[in-house]
Structure 1
Amino acid sequence: MSGWNTKKRFWKDVSVSEQDAGFGVLLDGRSLKTPAKTAVIVPNAKIAEAIAAEWDAQGDQIDPLSMPVMRWANAALDKVALQHAEVADMLADYGGTDLLCYRAVSPEALVARQAEAWDPLLDWAAERYNARLVPVRGVMFQAQDAGALERLRQEVHAFSNFELAAFHDLVSLSGSLILGFAAVEDLKPVTELWNCSRLDELWQEEQWGRDEEAHALAETKKSAFVQARNHFDLCSD
């Protein structure tokens, strides 16, 4: 029973059940399933309890947008679990064109701000993963060291299905593999890392004023970025 094929609440009780492969969520004693009919069996009780809380909080009408943990579980079970290597490779490829490596040519004040915010992150990755990525000015592609990219790729492949589903959002929303790693390793507060990904846009706002529509979209993405970091944290026992 998934509950995704109806808009009305059809259950009364929500519970968590420990099973051989992990923890399941039950609606009126029946196993919860994803939209693809995969049984919702998650790695630990924290994730199961968070999903159960989202279902229990629903009113008469089901609102999938109010269930971010459930949507993350759906992605992990219906998508990542079926193509873990492909998803990992796709995310690792961000390292070859990482946002932090492509710097402005001018003005010098923006160039300096990028260096101040982004160089320490690249230095951290070089030390933490033995993977030095080199920044360049301009948008012309510059190949990074193949060995460094391979070491980062191995780190991505080591994530579990649920970790990788959360990591996917961290990397794709920020445009940076390094910011994704920094987020899951708590290198800086998650909102500070998000602002690093928007450094150019924030600079433009300072110069020309805020575009309210663009700002609203950025705030939505920021919320999703923070949620993804919280989801990754749920993976730890």
Structure 2
Amino acid sequence: MTDSIYLALDFSNKKTLDQFLESNQFQGIPVKVGMELYYREGPKIIESLKANGHRIFLDLKLHDIPTTVMHAMNVIASLEVDMVNIHALGGSEMIKRAKEGLVEGNPNYHTKLIGVTMLTSMDNKQMNEELLIPGDLTKNTVYLARFAQANGADGVVCSVHEASQVKKACGERFVTVTPGIRLVDTAVNDQKRVATPSYARQNGADYLVIGRSVTQAANPQKAYHQAVMEWEE
């Protein structure tokens, strides 16, 4: 087990999740809880996972007016998760208020505030033509990382391919969380900017998020340990 790999728990309910974790002996590994599971089960799923020793990345990607995000973060702070994220595109005031909500909600616990830059399902053409954001995807990602850092974020979600550039721009202590992790010979699915665990480590990733390569594998435990081995070696 490593503290650097978060397994994405893309399950629709607690019963299915508990069966998966127990059958694969995944007690205590770091996990990512996303919208589907959190919206179905609520804060109790966080409490249950914490009671079983899991570190938690709460992946809700908040993006709303600053006051609303601040109040939401004030509530989330009481859950004492390791990381929670917002969209960096929400603007400077939203990022600042998110940080304020976390600090005021639980001044004795530091939950890392992570800004989402450009989703790993997005490519340069989509960014230019659909979102009407001009320029190069990597440069825009680095800009958003510096922007998030300037307004109080502890790190960003970015693809592996941008992680090293983010580190150069923001410093080694600024956290890079990289989804789109795939083991060799596994499907890319709807991700476009993907990479293996070993490449991620070489390219400046601090934390990996890996999901379907493990959860949909014929042998999830074996696939998880392969990811850990690739990361560590």
Q: Tell me the TM-score normalized by structure 2.
A: 0.27
Q: Which structure's CA Rg is the greater one?
A: 1
Structure number with the higher strand fraction is 2
Structure number with the higher helix fraction is 1
